[in-house]
Amino acid sequence: MLKVENISFGYTKKPVLNNISFTANKGDYIAIVGESGCGKSTLLEIIYGLLHIEEGTVFWDNEKLRGPRFNLIPGEIFMKYLPQDFDLMPYITVEENVGKNLSYLDKNRKSRIAELLEVVDMTDFLKTKVINLSGGQKQRVAIAKVLAKEPEVLLLDEPFSHIDNFRKNKLRRSLFKYLKTKNILCLVATHDTKDALSFANEIIVLKDAKIEAKGTPEEIYNHPKNAYIASFFNEINTISSKISGVKNKTLFYPNEIKIVEKSDKKVTVITSYFNGSYYLIEAMLNDEIIFFESIKRLEINQQVYIKISNKI
């Protein structure tokens, strides 16, 4: 089990992280989300052992990790960390890059490389030099490389940021399924909430150097305690209980507002945004802008009636 206990850290006197604590088990996937500069990458670097901390402790299986001042080579040997710069050698092949983390004496070396390239859908590029790959392809090779020695803990910083959407969904499913079968604990710093909602066991939301929220994807999404948390997952409407008619709730996702034939709430359409299976409608309600979903495009200045639900 990974235990992060009361960590505080700052590059200057201003804290980047303040009293951060959480636990994670082998095989878990923990998604760390928050606005740029909130400390996501810093937290991963502390856990891996690249940054020294004066306050707080990191434990793995009840053993205290001592950090960079006590290790000749920074970083824990049972962990792998993939930063956003990939850390690949450009003038050697994909096969050679992935194989850098495997012994030449390993009889299963070639099959291991083949297995990992299949996980990241890069089998066809085995003999291609990295310099000739796109940014997304390099990112996939980098993921395969950090998995080569099969770490107990994998730390990923925006692991799919350069990968096209049409390939990203398949890669996510393949990678996280692989990690589960190998019982590898994975912590991911991400801006992409699909990574978090669909695959994470727990989501940690950072704000102003602290943990703003922590819970399962269902808990965080269905019961956000403020607009900051909710805004990571969808457009968010802040509507008073007096206007909405829903007691003890002021935050509503677009799919909680429905078009009806008649109600006491009439809105004026500002814009319709096509989102594939539905339109996201921007409209005016009582001098406030709101967002809701419609199966068809609505015209500018068209007026429709809406109903606000208390269920997602």
Burial track 45-65 (b if 16+ CB lie within 10 A, e otherwise): bbbbbebeeeebebebeeeeb
Confidence check: pLDDT of 276 > 70: yes
According to the model, what pLDDT value does residue 139 have?
93
User: Burial, 188: exposed, middle or buried (Cβ in 10 Å; 0-12, 13-18, 19+)?
Assistant: buried
- Structure confidence at residue 167 as a pLDDT band (50, 70, 90): confident
According to the model, what pLDDT value does residue 85 have?
79
Residues 28, 186 contacting (CB under 8 angstroms): yes
According to the model, what pLDDT value does residue 213 have?
97
Confidence check: pLDDT of 105 > 90: no
The amino acid present at 181, given as its one-letter code, is T
Confidence check: pLDDT of 155 > 80: yes
Residue whose tokens read 């398949």: 170
168-180 confidence digits (pLDDT tens)? 889 999 999 999 9
Compute the average pLDDT of residues 11-38. Answer: 95
According to the model, what pLDDT value does residue 67 have?
84
Compute the average pLDDT of residues 188-192. Answer: 91
- Structure confidence at residue 33 as a pLDDT band (50, 70, 90): very high
According to the model, what pLDDT value does residue 144 have?
95
CA dihedral 269, 275, 277, 282 (to 10 degrees): -20
Extract the tokens encoding 160.
Answer: 């799919």
- Structure confidence at residue 237 as a pLDDT band (50, 70, 90): very high
Q: What residue ranges define each of the domains in the chain, with the CATH number in brackets?
A: 2-229 (3.40.50.300), 234-308 (2.40.50.140)
According to the model, what pLDDT value does residue 312 have?
63
- Residue 243 Cα distances to 231, 284, 310, angstroms: 21, 13, 13
What is the average pLDDT score of the chain? Answer: 93
The structure's pTM equals 0.91
Burial track 264-285 (b if 16+ CB lie within 10 A, e otherwise): ebebebbebeeeeeebbbbbeb
Confidence check: pLDDT of 215 > 90: yes
Residues 124, 167 contacting (CB under 8 angstroms): no
Determine the Cα–Cα distance for residues 52 and 180; give it in Å rounded to an integer. Answer: 30
- Between 191 and 29, residue with greater pLDDT: 29
52-89 confidence digits (pLDDT tens)? 999 999 999 999 998 888 877 778 889 999 988 778 99
According to the model, what pLDDT value does residue 154 have?
96
Compute the average pLDDT of residues 234-255. Answer: 91
